[in-house]
Structures are given as structure tokens and as C-alpha cells.
């Protein structure tokens, strides 16, 4: 309804009110369903195009629905993939992967392990990959191994 209100100027106010009402109704329905059932069941439900409800909510920018507490708990479960680490343990893992390239290489491999499938672990390895690439690129481009005044260049002028 929000998109339609942008296109149709005559009924824009009515369509805007309908979109607000629909969003409030979605929040209420989600809260009722989440209190009775597992919100994962609802958020994994698919629409007529085969897209999960969570993807539809994100696509349509339904921030109030996505910000609901049970939805956030579900998203946290997906993000951590039931790897229940404290903040300190996650930071220690990040430092281990950053300072020990073999550990980074091992966790970057697509192995079928519980930890390797966790999105947070994949994200940490992805960030560390970017850091390594930036360091490599900086080293190659700036050529910091050789001092600028030691580089001899023979320029021929004719």
C-alpha cells in the first residue's frame, strides 16, 4: 500500500493509512503467534512466490515487525547457529584467526562442522580475509620492503 500511495496521488492519504494499519496488524498477529507458537515456524512460512516470510518482511521494510523481540531472538539464533559463546570468547576467536593464518585457513574451509557453518564464524573469517588482503595489497603497492632512496632507476635521455 505504501508503494501504491506514491503512485496514486488522489488516494495517497487513504493508502498511507491502510499501510500503517496493515503494519500494526502484522505486529499484533506476530506477537500473538509468537506467544502461542515458535516464531521460527511463522518466519519460515513461504508466500505464493516461495519466499520465506522473514525475507518478505525485510524486502518490504517492515521494521516494526522485524524488530519484535521474538523475531530478534530467532535472528540471533540463526546468526550464532547455536554457538553460545560469550563476547570475550568471540573476541579471542577473532584474535586467534587474525594472528594465526593457519587457523584462519582452517575455519575458512567449507568443512561440514557445527562451528564452520555458523554465520558469525564465516563473518569473522571474511573480515580477516579482507584485512589480510589489505595488508598484502599495501605491501605490494607501497613496496615498503625497499627504501625509496635505495631504489636506483636508470633513466635514459636522448
Residues 55-79 as b/e (b if ≥16 CB within 10 A, e otherwise) read: ebbeeeebeebbebebbeebeeeee
- pLDDT band at 23; cut points 50, 70, 90: confident
Say whether pLDDT at 120 is over 70.
yes
- pLDDT band at 89; cut points 50, 70, 90: very high
CA distances (Å), origin 49, targets 40, 41, 52: 19, 18, 9
126-158 pLDDT, tens digit each:
999 999 999 999 888 887 666 666 666 666 656
Amino acid at each position: 500500500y505504501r508503494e501504491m500511495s506514491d503512485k496514486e496521488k488522489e488516494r495517497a492519504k487513504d493508502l498511507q493509512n491502510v499501510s500503517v494499519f496493515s503494519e500494526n496488524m502484522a505486529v499484533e498477529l506476530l506477537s500473538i503467534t509468537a506467544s502461542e507458537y515458535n516464531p521460527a515456524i511463522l518466519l519460515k512460512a513461504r508466500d505464493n512466490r516461495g519466499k520465506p516470510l522473514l525475507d518478505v518482511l525485510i524486502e518490504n521494510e517492515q521494521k516494526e515487525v522485524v524488530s519484535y523481540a521474538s523475531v530478534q531472538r530467532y535472528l540471533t539464533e540463526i546468526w550464532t547457529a547455536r554457538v553460545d559463546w560469550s563476547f570475550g570468547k568471540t573476541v579471542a576467536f577473532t584474535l586467534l584467526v587474525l594472528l594465526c593464518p593457519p587457523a584462519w585457513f582452517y575455519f575458512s574451509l567449507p568443512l561440514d562442522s557445527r562451528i564452520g557453518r555458523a554465520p558469525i564464524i564465516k563473518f569473522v573469517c571474511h573480515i580477516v580475509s579482507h584485512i589480510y588482503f589489505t595488508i598484502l595489497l599495501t605491501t605490494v603497492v607501497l613496496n615498503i620492503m625497499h627504501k625509496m632512496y635505495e631504489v636506483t632507476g636508470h633513466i635514459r635521455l636522448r
